Structure 1
Amino acid sequence: MNPRADISRRAFLRQAGLSGVVLTLGCYWPTAGKSAPDIVRLAGAAPATTPLLAWISIDGAGKVTIFCHRSEMGQGTWQSLPQIVAEELEIDLDAAAIQYAPADPKRYGPQPQEGSFSVRGWYEQLLRVGASAREMLIEAAARQWKVPTSTCYAKHGVVIHRPTGSKLTYGALVQDAAQLPPPQQVTLKKRKDYTVIGKSLRRKDIPAKVNGSAVFGLDKKLPGMLYAVVERSPRFRGKVKSFDDTAVRAVPGVKHVLTVQRAVFNLLYEGVAVVADSSWAAMQGRKLLKVEWNDEGFDHLDSAGITARMREQMLRPLPSEAFETALKGATATLEAIYESPYQSHSCMEPLNCTADVKENSIEVWGPIQEANWIQADLSERLNIPKENVKVNMTFLGGGFGRKAFPDYSLEAALLSKAVKAPVQVVWTREDDMTGGPFRAGAMHRCRGGIDAAKKIFAFQVVSSSQYIGQGEDNVAAPVPVSTNAGELAGLSNDYYKTIPHYSFGGIPIKSPIPTMWWRAPIANVDAFAGESFIDELAHLAAQDPLEFRKKHFISPRYLALINKLANVSRWSTRGKNEGWGIAITDSFGGIVGQVVRVSRRPDNKVKIDKVYAVIDCGWYVNPDIIRAQIEGSIIMGLGAATTHATHFKEGKAVEKNFNAYPMPRIADIPAIEVHIMENDEKAGGVGEPGLPALAPALCNAIYDLTGKRIRTLPFKLDEV
Structure 2
Amino acid sequence: MSKETDFSRRKFLQLAGLGGAALCLGIFPGISKASVITEGAALAENIEMNAWIIINTSGRITLVDHRAEMGQGSYHSVPQIIAEELEVDLSQVDVIFAQGSTKYGSQITGGSSTIRTSYKNLLKLSATAREMLRQAAAKRWNVPLAECMARSGNIIHEKTSRKFHYGELVAEASKLTPPEKVDLKPRSEYKIIGKPVKRMDTHLKTNGAAVFGLDKRLPGMLFASVERNPRLRGKVASFDDSQARKIKGVKDVIKITMKVWDTDREGIAVIADNSWAALQGRKALKIVWDDSGFEHVNTPEIYKKHQELLVTEEGLTAKEQGSVNTTADGSRKKIEAVYMTPYQSHLAIEPINCIAHYQKDKIEIWGPIQAPDWIQKDVAKAFNMDAKNVTVNMTFLGGGFGRKAFTDFPNEAVAISQKINAPVQVVWSREDDATQGPFRPGVSYRGEGIIENGKLTDLKFRMVGQNINHWQSGKKGTANPSTTEGFMEPYFKTIKNIKFSDIPFETPVPVLWWRSVYASTNGFAYESFMDEIARSMGMDSLEFRRQYMDDERTRKLIDRLKQVSQWKSSGPQEGYGIAITECFKSTVGQVVKVSKRKGGGVKIDKVWAVIDCGWYVNPDIIQAQVEGSIVMALGATMHEQTFTDGKADLMNYSTYPLPRIYDIPPVEVHVMENKEDAGGVGEPGLPPFAPALANAIFDLTGKRIRTLPFDLAQI
Q: Which amino acid aligns with 1:73?
A: M
Q: What residue in structure 2 maps to residue 691 of structure 1?
A: 686
Query: What do the CA deviations read for 1:447-472 (whole angstroms, capped 9, x no partner)?
Result: 112232x3321111111101116769
Q: What residue in structure 2 maps to residue 103 of structure 1?
A: 100
1:677 is the counterpart of 2:689: no
**Is contact 2:364–2:390 with CA below 8 Å preserved after alignment?**
yes
Q: What residue in structure 2 maps to residue 645 of structure 1?
A: 640
Q: What residue in structure 2 maps to residue 408 of structure 1?
A: 409
Query: What do the CA deviations read for 1:210-240 (whole angstroms, capped 9, x no partner)?
Result: 1111110010011111000000001111111
Identity %: 48
**Is contact 1:475–1:509 with CA below 8 Å preserved after alignment?**
no
Structure 2 counterparts to residues 246-285 of structure 1, below 5 A: 246-285=242-281
How much does 1:317 deviate? 3.8
Q: What residue in structure 2 maps to residue 14 of structure 1?
A: 10
Cα distance in structure 1, aligned partners of 2:703 and 2:231 = 38
2:91 pairs with one of 91, 94, 103: 94
Query: What do the CA deviations read for 1:677-711 (whole angstroms, capped 9, x no partner)?
Result: 00000000111111000000000000000000000
Query: What do the CA deviations read for 1:311-344 (whole angstroms, capped 9, x no partner)?
Result: 1222224289942367558632111100000000
CA shift in 2, pair 1:122/1:431, >3 Å: same
Cα distance in structure 2, aligned partners of 1:232 and 1:646 = 18
**Is contact 1:90–1:156 with CA below 8 Å preserved after alignment?**
yes
CA shift in 2, pair 1:47/1:337, >3 Å: farther
Cα distance in structure 1, aligned partners of 2:510 and 2:596 = 40
Q: Which amino acid aligns with 2:612?
A: D
How much does 1:73 deviate? 0.6
Query: What do the CA deviations read for 1:85-106 (whole angstroms, capped 9, x no partner)?
Result: 1111111012321111111222
1:132 pairs with one of 128, 147, 151: 128
Q: What residue in structure 2 maps to residue 290 of structure 1?
A: 286
How much does 1:192 deviate? 0.7
Structure 2 counterpart SS, 1:26? strand
Unpaired runs of 5+ in structure 1?
A: none
Q: What residue in structure 2 maps to residue 438 of structure 1?
A: 439
CA shift in 2, pair 1:701/1:556, >3 Å: same
Q: What residue in structure 2 maps to residue 429 of structure 1?
A: 430
Q: Which amino acid aligns with 2:54?
A: S
Cα distance in structure 2, aligned partners of 1:300 and 1:8 = 52
Structure 2 counterpart SS, 1:496? helix
Structure 2 counterparts to residues 647-662 of structure 1, below 5 A: 647-662=642-657
What is the Cα-based RMSD across aligned positions, in Å? Answer: 2.3
Cα distance in structure 1, aligned partners of 2:68 and 2:592 = 32
Q: Which amino acid aligns with 2:451?
A: I
The alignment's TM-score, normalised by the length of structure 2, stands at: 0.95
Unpaired runs of 5+ in structure 2?
A: none
Q: What residue in structure 1 maps to residue 238 of structure 2?
A: 242
Q: What residue in structure 1 maps to residue 53 of structure 2?
A: 56
Cα distance in structure 1, aligned partners of 2:163 and 2:522 = 58
Structure 1 counterpart SS, 2:24? coil
1:663 is the counterpart of 2:664: no
Q: What residue in structure 1 maps to residue 82 of structure 2?
A: 85
Q: What residue in structure 2 maps to residue 704 of structure 1?
A: 699
Structure 1 counterpart SS, 2:607? strand
**Is contact 2:314–2:462 with CA below 8 Å preserved after alignment?**
no
**Is contact 1:525–1:692 with CA below 8 Å preserved after alignment?**
yes
Q: What residue in structure 2 maps to residue 596 of structure 1?
A: 592
Q: What residue in structure 2 maps to residue 207 of structure 1?
A: 203
1:717 is the counterpart of 2:699: no
CA shift in 2, pair 1:330/1:63, >3 Å: farther
Structure 1 counterpart SS, 2:54? strand
Cα distance in structure 2, aligned partners of 1:208 and 1:356 = 27
The alignment's TM-score, normalised by the length of structure 1, stands at: 0.94
**Is contact 1:448–1:459 with CA below 8 Å preserved after alignment?**
yes
CA shift in 2, pair 1:474/1:53, >3 Å: closer
Structure 2 counterpart SS, 1:23? strand
How much does 1:478 deviate? 6.3
Query: What do the CA deviations read for 1:22-57 (whole angstroms, capped 9, x no partner)?
Result: 2110121268xx8x6132455556999976324112
CA shift in 2, pair 1:582/1:330, >3 Å: farther
Cα distance in structure 1, aligned partners of 2:236 and 2:465 = 30
**Is contact 1:257–1:275 with CA below 8 Å preserved after alignment?**
yes
Give the number of equivalent residue pairs: 706
CA shift in 2, pair 1:326/1:183, >3 Å: farther
How much does 1:395 deviate? 0.7
Cα distance in structure 1, aligned partners of 2:579 and 2:361 = 54
Q: Which amino acid aligns with 2:372?
A: A
**Is contact 1:355–1:423 with CA below 8 Å preserved after alignment?**
yes
How much does 1:179 deviate? 2.1
Structure 2 counterpart SS, 1:39? strand
Q: Which amino acid aligns with 1:419?
A: I
How much does 1:142 deviate? 1.3
Moved more, 574-583 or 423-432: 574-583
**Is contact 1:469–1:514 with CA below 8 Å preserved after alignment?**
no
1:544 is the counterpart of 2:540: yes
Q: What residue in structure 1 maps to residue 464 of structure 2?
A: 464
CA shift in 2, pair 1:325/1:103, >3 Å: closer
1:38 pairs with one of 31, 35, 39: 35
Q: What residue in structure 1 maps to residue 71 of structure 2?
A: 74
Q: What residue in structure 2 maps to residue 24 of structure 1?
A: 24
Q: Which amino acid aligns with 2:565?
A: S
Cα distance in structure 1, aligned partners of 2:621 and 2:472 = 39
Q: What residue in structure 2 maps to residue 378 of structure 1?
A: 379
Q: What residue in structure 2 maps to residue 173 of structure 1?
A: 169
Cα distance in structure 2, aligned partners of 1:650 and 1:590 = 40
Q: What residue in structure 1 maps to residue 369 of structure 2?
A: 368
Q: What residue in structure 1 maps to residue 228 of structure 2?
A: 232
CA shift in 2, pair 1:284/1:552, >3 Å: same
1:580 pairs with one of 576, 579, 592: 576
Q: What residue in structure 1 maps to residue 489 of structure 2?
A: 493
